[in-house]
Amino acid sequence: MTDADRNPGNVETAEDVDTRVSYVVQPEQWHDRLAARLSILYLLAMLVLLSSVLYQIWSGDPKLLKNITGIDLASSGKMTLFRLMAYTAIGGALGAVANGIRSIIYWHLEKQGFGGRFIWKYLSLPPLGALLAVMVYATIRAGIGSIGGNATPTEGGAQPMWAFAFGALSGYGSHKVFVWLDDKVKKLFEVPEKSEEKGVKVPDVKGKTQAEAEAALQDAGLACGKIDTTLSTDPKMEGKVVEQTPAAGSSLAPKGAVAIKIGKGKGV
């Protein structure tokens, strides 16, 4: 249940632009305003840091990245793939930063309904955006390689710009990326149903005439098997099904046969 579901109808609601879920706009308290300011300062600091790393990689002298990761891209000619992944990760982090700043402007400055607990969302946005961008980039490159037979990246050209743009879009639309990844994971790791689970549920044909029972079984995708008669002590069951095999509710393979017994009186 969202905040809007508990809304008595006399307070303002706002829709989250990412999830399309409506929330009740509650007035900010001092700790909410403090959390909003800390979040925006953090995102702005990440914006400056990531932009500096990006500029250094583009200029061919990524000292800051070396200090952070210990990897020297400038001295290695065999780091093409890592360089493209770095572009993708930085793009994803910057896209997430942009999305976070837009969200804070909307909830804090426009709606004045920022919730202090959401500070953890904004703290995790840059690394989460970078991770999602790399995951999606690797997934798509693997798909291109399996189809086209060649996923080897090349140095220069438009690939770095493409990787950065792709990462930025992935980070900015992180919520939609989660939905996309969930769908891919479900399809990739879908467990096929066991053959017996695909059986047909046997209908209850007791009390029906032979013609009615045959029609019911046919409608269920089954067949009427052996038909016998048996003595019935209940006059109302004469000429009707008194027993069936398999029993109603059990599972049977499609077009499987169900044997029935028709009740008969003593004088029949």
pLDDT tens readout for residues 167-178: 888 888 887 777
| Structure token digits, residue 56 | 């250094």
Residue 63: predicted pLDDT: 67
Please provide the average confidence, as pLDDT, over all residues in the chain.
77
Closest CA to 253 of 196, 184, 203: 196
Instruction: Answer yes or no: are the C-beta atoms of 95 and 137 closer than 8 Å.
Output: no
Quote the pLDDT of residue 46: 92
Q: Which residues of 202-212 are buried (b: 16+ CB within 10 A; e: fewer)?
A: bbebbebeeee
pLDDT digits (tens, 9 = 90+) for 81-94: 777 888 888 889 99
Percentage of the residues of the chain whose pLDDT score is greater than 90: 12
Which residue would you say has higher pLDDT here, 228 or 4?
228
Contact status, residue 117 vs residue 127, Cβ threshold 8 Å: no
- So what's the pLDDT on residue 155? 52
pLDDT at 142 over 90: no
Q: Are 49 and 130 in contact (CB under 8 A)?
A: no
124 pLDDT more than 60: yes
pLDDT tens for 222-256 read: 888 888 888 777 778 888 888 898 888 888 888 88
Q: How far is CA 127 from the centre of its chain?
A: 20
